[in-house]
Amino acid sequence: MLGQFIEEVYLLASQARSEGEVPVASMILEKVDSTYRFLCSSTNRIVTQADATSHAEMNCIKEACRIKKNERLIDCIMITTLEPCLMCTGAIILARLSRVYYFAPSMKGIGMSKIVNNPELNKGLNHKTELIFLEEEFPRASQMISSFFLAKRQNIQNSLTDRASGKQ
């Protein structure tokens, strides 16, 4: 069911990487009868828009709400390369997305799983979003994200070495 959409999310993440963004992409699908159809997609735009809140999930939710002319995304699901952060989790719950599929867990900060799987925090939520970790996608997604940061660290190291040796 999700196969073709998963590949499209990876392509978007690669595009974000080529633009200097962390390779995170999200897509929202709308349930129509017994199937899902594409509604919208987005990538991280934190660097390109100089906006700390311009996460792929936030951008995608805003676009989907605009398209549907409604702040509620009932009968919609999200596919995302990285587990949503605390900010995006709040937006996902407020938008009433029914389900979120993610490829790689958040290794830093508080990810969505820590909210929805915590009975104390979860009992106060006005909407329950199902969170599904697509383990089979983890190696590929994890490699994409970690290689981005490795290259970024190497570029920084090379710049520091060039400056120290007088090259610029």
Instruction: Please give the structure tokens belonging to residue 114.
Output: 């820590």
Instruction: Please give the structure tokens belonging to residue 150.
Output: 């490795």
Active-site position among 30, 57, 83, 137: 57
57 annotated active-site? yes
Sign of CA dihedral 60, 66, 68, 72: positive
CA separation for the pair 106, 111 (Å, rounded): 6
Residues in the chain: 168
Strands 99-104 and 25-32, bridge-based pairing: unpaired
CA–centroid distance for 82 within its chain: 5
- The torsion angle over the Cα atoms of residues 86, 89, 93 and 94, rounded to 10 degrees, is 70
- Active site amino acids: 57
